C-alpha cells in the first residue's frame, strides 16, 4: 500500500497541473494515419496509397534506425525523409535509438531527444510518439513542454478533455479483423471525435506490427469516404487550434 502512494501522488499532480487538455471533438470527426520507426514500406506503399487519394500521414522517425533493416524490412533512408516531406507528409519524432522512455533518467532522455532533434532538424518535428507506447507521468510532463503532442498506444478515440501528452491510438495490424477498424471510423464520425491509427510496415506479408496492403487500402478508403477529415497529426491539431507546448518548438532541449 505504501509503495502506491508516490505513484498516486504523481498521478494527482499530473492530472491537476501537467496534463494538457484539449477538446478534440469537431463537427465532422478526424482520422490520422501514423507510422512508427518507420520502415521504408510505410512510405513507399502506405504513403503511396494515401497520396493517391491526396491524403497525408505522420511518420515518427527514430533517426538512429536510418539505413538499418529488421523483421519489419528495410528502414527509411535520409532520401526517404526528403521524399516524405516533399510529398506533404508530416515527419514526427521518436527517440533516436528507439529506446523506451518510461523510467528513463532526465539526462538520458534529454540526450536522446536532442540527438534525434539534431538529426531531423531539417524537418522540424513537432509531434512525438512513445517507442513501444510506454511512458510515465514524469516523462509525459517533460515531453509535453517540448512537443505539440505525444502519442501513445492506449486504444480509443480522442474526444473532450483529450490529453495532448497522451494521445490515444488504435493499432492497425493485419491480425485484427477489418470490421474493428471500420467500426472505429464510424464511431469517430458519429461522435465527431479524433481517431488515430498507427502501424509500422505495409506489405503483402507484414510483420506482426504491420498492416497488409489490402487492409491498409481498405481502411484508408473507408476513412476517406466517411466524411471525416483525414489528415496528419499536425493538421488535426491546427484544426483544433490546440495550444502550443510550453517550450518553443525550436528549443534546444527539454527544460
pLDDT in tens, the chain (255 residues): 333 446 566 566 667 656 888 899 988 999 999 999 999 999 999 999 999 999 999 999 999 999 999 999 999 999 999 999 999 999 999 998 888 888 888 888 889 999 999 999 999 999 999 988 788 878 888 888 889 999 999 999 999 989 999 999 999 999 999 999 999 999 999 999 999 999 999 999 999 999 999 999 999 999 999 999 999 999 999 998 755 554 433 333 444
Distances (CA, A) of 76 to 82, 95, 182: 10, 15, 29
The grid cell for 5 is: 502512494
CB distance 207 to 200 below 8 Å = yes
Look up residue 44 and give its DSSP letter.
I
What is the model's pTM?
A: 0.88
Q: What is the pLDDT of residue 44?
A: 97
Q: Which domains, ranges and CATH numbers included, belong to the chain?
A: 24-240 (3.20.20.370)
CB distance 137 to 10 below 8 Å = yes
Amino acid at each position: 500500500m505504501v509503495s502506491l502512494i508516490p505513484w498516486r501522488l504523481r498521478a494527482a499532480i499530473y492530472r491537476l497541473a501537467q496534463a494538457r487538455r484539449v477538446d478534440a471533438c469537431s463537427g465532422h470527426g478526424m482520422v490520422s494515419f501514423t507510422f512508427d520507426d518507420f520502415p521504408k514500406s510505410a512510405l513507399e506503399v502506405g504513403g503511396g496509397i494515401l497520396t493517391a487519394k491526396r491524403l497525408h500521414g505522420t511518420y515518427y522517425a527514430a533517426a538512429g534506425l536510418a539505413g538499418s533493416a529488421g523483421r519489419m524490412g528495410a528502414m527509411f533512408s535520409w532520401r526517404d525523409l526528403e521524399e516524405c516531406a516533399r510529398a506533404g507528409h508530416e515527419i514526427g519524432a521518436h527517440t533516436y535509438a528507439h529506446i523506451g522512455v518510461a523510467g528513463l533518467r532526465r539526462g538520458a532522455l534529454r540526450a536522446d531527444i536532442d540527438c534525434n532533434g539534431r538529426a531531423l532538424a531539417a524537418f522540424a518535428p513537432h509531434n512525438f510518439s512513445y517507442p513501444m507506447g510506454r511512458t510515465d507521468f514524469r516523462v509525459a510532463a517533460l515531453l509535453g513542454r517540448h512537443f505539440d503532442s505525444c502519442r501513445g498506444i492506449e486504444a480509443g478515440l480522442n474526444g473532450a478533455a483529450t490529453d495532448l501528452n497522451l494521445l490515444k491510438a488504435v493499432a492497425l495490424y493485419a491480425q485484427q479483423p477489418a470490421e474493428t477498424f471500420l467500426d472505429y471510423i464510424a464511431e469517430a464520425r458519429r461522435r465527431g471525435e479524433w481517431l488515430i491509427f498507427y502501424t509500422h510496415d505495409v506489405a503483402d506479408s507484414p510483420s506482426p506490427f504491420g498492416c497488409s496492403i489490402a487492409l491498409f487500402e481498405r481502411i484508408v478508403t473507408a476513412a476517406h469516404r466517411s466524411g471525416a477529415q483525414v489528415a496528419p497529426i499536425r493538421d488535426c491539431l491546427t484544426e483544433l487550434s490546440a495550444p502550443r507546448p510550453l517550450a518553443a518548438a525550436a528549443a534546444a532541449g527539454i527544460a
